[in-house]
Structure 1
Amino acid sequence: MRKYFITGLLILVPIAITAWVLHAVISTMDQSLLLLPEQWRPEALIGFKIPGLGAVLTVLIIFVTGLLTKNFIGNYVVAAWEALLNRIPIVNSIYSSVKQVSDTLFSSSGNAFSKALLIQYPREGSWTIAFLTGKPSGDVSQHLGDDFISVYVPTTPNPTSGYFLMIPKKDAIELDMSVDTALKYVVSMGVVAPEVAEKIAVQTNQVKAN
Structure 2
Amino acid sequence: MRFFKRYFVTGLLIWLPLVATIWVLMMLARTLDSMVPAFLSPESLFGVAIPGFELGLVLAVILFTGLFCANFIGRAILSRWEALLGRIPLVRSIYNSVKQVSDTVFAPNGQAFRQAVLVQYPRRGAWTIAFLTGAPCDEIAALLAGDYVSVYVPTTPNPTSGFFLMLPRADVQVLAMSVETALKYIVSMGVVAPPALAAVADAPGAPAIDRPSQ
TM-score between the two structures when normalised by the length of structure 1: 0.82
Of stretches 181-190 and 19-28 in structure 1, the one that deviates more from structure 2 is 181-190
Whichever residue aligns with residue 187 of structure 1, its letter is: V
Unaligned runs of 5+ in 1: 200-210
Deviation, 1:73, is 1.7
Deviation, 1:137, is 0.8
Q: The residue matched to 1:165 in structure 2 has which SS?
A: strand
- The residue number in structure 2 matching 1:182 is 182
Alignment of 1:93-132 (within 5 A): 93-132=93-132
- The residue number in structure 2 matching 1:7 is 10
Could you say which structure has the larger radius of gyration? 2
Deviation, 1:19, is 1.2
2:21 to 13, 18, 22: 18
Alpha-carbon distance in 1 for matches of 2:197, 2:29: 28
Query: Which structure has greater helix proportion?
Result: 1
Whichever residue aligns with residue 16 of structure 2, its letter is: V
Contact kept? 1:114, 1:131, Cα under 8 Å:
yes
Give the direction of change, closer, same or farther, for the CA distance of 1:100–1:17 in structure 2 (3 Å limit).
same
Q: Deviation per CA, 1:64-84, whole angstroms, max 9, x where unpaired?
A: 111111222211110111112
Whichever residue aligns with residue 8 of structure 1, its letter is: G
Same amino acid, percent of matched pairs: 54
Give the direction of change, closer, same or farther, for the CA distance of 1:196–1:170 in structure 2 (3 Å limit).
closer
Contact kept? 2:41, 2:54, Cα under 8 Å:
no
Unaligned runs of 5+ in 2: 200-214
- The residue number in structure 2 matching 1:46 is 47
Give the direction of change, closer, same or farther, for the CA distance of 1:68–1:56 in structure 2 (3 Å limit).
same
Whichever residue aligns with residue 188 of structure 1, its letter is: S
Give the direction of change, closer, same or farther, for the CA distance of 1:171–1:138 in structure 2 (3 Å limit).
same
TM-score between the two structures when normalised by the length of structure 2: 0.81
- The residue number in structure 2 matching 1:206 is none
Alpha-carbon distance in 1 for matches of 2:197, 2:43: 45
Q: Aligned residue pairs: how many?
A: 195
Whichever residue aligns with residue 94 of structure 2, its letter is: I
Alpha-carbon distance in 2 for matches of 1:149, 1:120: 14
